Amino acid sequence: MLRSHDVYVGQEDCRLFYQRPQPRYRSEYGDANLRSLQQLLYYTPQDQPSYRLGPPKERAKINEALKAADLSYDTLVDVRHPLDILVNDIGLETIAAKATHSLKGIRVAPYYGCQIVRPHGLFDDVDDPIKMGQLLSRLGAEPVHYPCKVRCCGGMLMTTKEDVALALSMKLLEAAVDNNVDLIATACPLCQMNLEAYQKKINKTFGRNFHVPVVYFSHLVGAALGIDLKEMGLNQLFIRPEKLYNVVQEVRV
């Protein structure tokens, strides 16, 4: 079971521990720091200082409702993204030292999405983030110039204004193809789904022929650390990342 003070980084339950400079906030259930891969879940608490620094005005009403279950809320919550933790707490050199495979030969478009570093830029630049590229580069991959890396994929518009979301995702795929990438690496499950699962519909709608693998950045980190691709669920993707499979099979550190 992953705890808030450790991160799984390899086989045989190898864990890297980190120490944060600021104090941890604890509740009766333990460490109150949260880790979120989904952009919206990460962004929303970060954008609401009242939730990060303390409960809102409705605290009394909330606790009155929770009292029915013998619960209360008095915890300060620090929400962080796994990319932030891997790069800034564990560190590039520590992760690279654990690598068993090189990602050499994989041209990857690092796609951050429109919310992870905005609006506050807590762990990367808001306009030109580089942390994912640095991480993947240190593991041997070749991050390409990807000017659309902080543009919106359409997000939840895919369920309400599908035509708008399809057009937004199409532009991201187009930029990736223009830069001759082997795959796109995302930092958000919703971005990954929009860019991969809707490619057939994008092709049909806009008369294109995209066939671009889209993975999570953590898939690439896991592959470099020797974690089986099937164990990470890559066999469940709609578009098989052939270059990743080939490189993992052929290139070892």
pLDDT digits (tens, 9 = 90+) for 146-173: 999 999 999 889 999 999 999 999 999 9
Neighbours of 60 (CB within 10 A): 9
Collect contacts of 23-26 with beta carbons under 8 A, ≥24 apart.
25/75, 25/76, 25/77, 25/78, 26/75
Q: What does the pLDDT read at residue 42?
A: 41
Tokens of 216: 């999570």
Residue 172: Cβ-neighbour burial (10 angstroms; 0-12, 13-18, 19+): buried
221 pLDDT exceeds 70?
yes
Q: Name the region of 19 (left: φ>0; alpha: ψ -120 to 50; beta: rest).
A: beta
Distances (CA, A) of 18 to 8, 11, 86, 170: 12, 18, 10, 39
Across residues 118-133, what is the average pLDDT?
A: 78
- In which band, very low, low, confident or very high, does the pLDDT at 121 lie, cut at 50, 70 and 90? low
176 pLDDT exceeds 60?
yes
Q: C-alpha angle with apex 223: 217 to 229, nearest 5 degrees?
A: 100
Q: What does the pLDDT read at residue 21?
A: 35
- Among 78, 101, 98, smallest CA distance to 90 is for 98
User: CATH 3.40.50.11810 in the chain, residues?
Assistant: 82-250
User: Which of 13-17, 34-38, 43-47, 199-203 shows the lowest mean pLDDT across its residues?
Assistant: 13-17
Query: What is the third-level CATH fold of 82-250?
Result: Rossmann fold (3.40.50)
23 pLDDT exceeds 60?
no
Across residues 180-207, what is the average pLDDT?
A: 95
CA torsion 60-65-67-68 (nearest 10°) is 160
